[in-house]
Amino acid sequence: MVIMSRQSNNGSPVPSPIDIDTPDGSILGADLTDNETQYTYQWNEKQQQLINDYKKYHYEMMFFVDELEKDGPEGKSINMPKKPKGDLSRLLGDHKQMSKLLSGKHLHKYLVEKRATQDIVTCPKVSDFGLFTSLENILEYLKSGYEGLKKQNSTSIAVCIDYGDWLNVAFQLHYIEKLAGKISVTWKEWLKANVDIQDSYARKLREVAELLGKYPKFRTLGLPFSEIYQRRKQIKAMLETDRNVAQYWQQAN
């Protein structure tokens, strides 16, 4: 799947896209240069907007109450912040099913029931192209792929897997070029400056692509990427401990 040589220009081995631990941060470890936690829950655009609306509302309300306490009530009712129309509690209700701990055959059954009828993919596959030898060559595909990813429905796990493959290849190329002295910026800095995608999100995409890339049937799941990511450890255990289940998900159709 990954069409990269496993050796760098100076003979040093190229790190795995999953288990490396470089100064830029590791997909398995916390990025100490990042103030956010390693894994940030991925809401869809509408849900994130509702969260942002409530954050703004409570921020403005804090100042309103502070001024009310200091200056009294005169003229304050006119300037009171308006509470968002959306119900924040529905975000909890939407994900009750996700919170249930599933494993083994129970998880397998649940995932099979969530398969979609069609596999819609808009991001090209890395394997459809030749050898990429520099970040400059792959940058165009990273940018266009990310634009397609942002426009996709949240249930399009296939696009996330394909784009995660692109990120894994780019991650290895960055490692090689940094060792060779061609670039000096960290992976996180390069990614933000050139693709405008947060490293925290990119790490999730890379990890899921590495986990599910060899199992074509997962591409048909009608589940949001956020749920797949939350269940990744249970999915990994399921595939590693049950050969029949693993063979099912390895089928193309």
pLDDT tens-digit series, residues 79-89? 788 888 888 77
Q: Which of 20-24, 122-126, 176-180, 248-252 has the weakest average pLDDT?
A: 20-24
pTM for this entry: 0.57
Question: What's the pLDDT score for residue 36?
Answer: 37
Q: pLDDT-based confidence at 30, cuts 50/70/90? A: very low
Which H, E and C letters describe the chain, residue by residue? Answer: CCCCCCECCCCCECCCCCCCCECCECCCCCCCCCCCCCCCCCCCHHHHHHHHHHHHHHHHHHHHHHHHHHHCCCCCHHHCCCCCCCCCCHHHHCCCCCCCCCCHHHHHHHHHHCECCCCCCCCCCHHHCCCCCCHHHHHHHHHHHHHHHHHCCCCCHHHHHHHHHHHHHHHHHHHHHHHCCCCCCCHHHHHHHHCCCCHHHHHHHHHHHHHHCCCHHHHHECCCHHHHHHCHHHHHHHHHHCHHHHHHHHCCC
Provide, rounded to the nearest whole percent, the portion of the chain with pLDDT above 70.
72
- The mean pLDDT of 203-224, rounded to a whole number, is 92
pLDDT value, residue 172: 96
